[in-house]
Structure 1
């Protein structure tokens, strides 16, 4: 299980420094929508702290978790790049701080730092591939969806410890249920099953990935 890099980790030092000066600083409380699917605004958000979920709706009306975004990630860049309506809804899961740039500010920044165009292109491509894989799992059982969310959280927040990989963030169960797209009782049953299988160990706002192979198996079942 490897840790994924964020966009800010891969941008040039000049581009990262300028991003930190542009736009306005905005704080979103848990549950606040940052962007709505179908909207035609063009702003871009650079996440500095917190956690947000990206959700899409299928033609049949089913919601699916497409991604989890954390500090260092970028959201909204597709609309700035292609001028099309938003392709997903982004909602804060924890209190989330972001720097909000207009689409024009974002494109002008890339124009001043052309070496970052390739970095952004690779970042967008990776996000689209992840979103496509996520749609495949949108109708999966709660246990499989829980396993997928835990794997992604471990990749973004994981910290190696003696017994495995600790998801190093104080995520309340209500927020985890929101990420999974399940009720809290259903999430509790899923976590109980994953504990019994030896995949995870959980405590109060604490998740330890004990056996990543077992967790990945649960995601595919």
Structure 2
């Protein structure tokens, strides 16, 4: 799938075509079923997973037995890179949200690839930095802003990372349940649903069967309190 239309902002989309082709050739192609777990939190394993044609969710166990949705990953993303780089146990569980195709790259091959392609190593560093920035921002948002602002920030982050422009606005082809949306913005489901309804009523976003559309990006950024 080297000619696949990788979503903007994903790991594979950021690589040069020749670099991407080399990495994909190192991966073992596998099909996974919906709800199948491909990475288990706490497991001592260090392979890397490239999402060839996939939609997955990243969760972590809470002390009360529930699981928190940390993020979502889409076709073109890489997962498991931290354990591969540091040889540490998995920090989260990764589960397929739909039937998907992945490529598994063993740690030794991945490390050799990064040594041979310094541009790819820099790209991995950039991906990790982006994820840390996302996590830090969310922690601050949970204490500093209302649910409406937090939701607007989550929607904008997804649109900026994975959206594609169309006459209707910025289209994000990622389907999220109301519960998952609420978890991402750190709110009760009823509060997140109310905030989303408000954004829809204001004509800022529209919900589709498989994702959402940002109809007014400037208004969304304003609600999210992003400057510039």
Q: TM-score range by the shorter chain?
A: 0.7 to 0.9
Alpha-carbon spacing, 1:208–1:14, altered in 2? closer, same or farther (3 Å): closer
Partner residue in 1 for 2:73? 69
CA shift, 1:42, in A, is 0.7
Q: Where does structure 1 lack aligned partners over 5 or more consecutive residues?
A: none
Aligned residue runs from structure 1 range 98-177, under 5 A:
98-137=102-141, 143-144=148-149, 146-167=151-172, 169=173, 171=175, 174=177, 177=179
Give the corresponding residue for 1:25. Answer: 29
- Counterparts of 1:106 and 1:80 in 2: how far apart (Å)? 8
Q: Secondary structure at the match of 1:100?
A: strand
Aligned ranges for residues 26-65 of structure 1 at < 5 Å? 26-57=30-61, 64-65=68-69
Change (3 A) 1:116 1:5: same
The answer to whether 1:93 aligns with 2:97 is: yes
RMSD, aligned CA: 3.3
Distance (whole Å) between structure 2 residues aligned to residue 205 and residue 72 of structure 1: 18
Choose which of 195, 199, 202 in structure 2 pairs with 1:194.
Answer: 199
C-alpha separation in 1, matches of 2:18 and 2:168: 39
User: C-alpha distance in 2, partners of 1:192/1:44?
Assistant: 38
What do residues 77-116 of structure 1 show as CA deviations (whole Å, max 9, x unaligned)?
0001011111222222333321011112211222332342
| 1:76, distance to aligned residue in structure 2 (A) | 0.3
Matched residue, 1:215: 220
**Farther off after superposition, 48-57 or 37-46:** 48-57
Q: Indicate the larger mover: 52-61 or 124-133.
A: 52-61
CA contact (8 A) 2:205 2:214 kept: yes
Preserved contact between residue 67 and residue 134 of structure 1 (Cα < 8 Å) = no
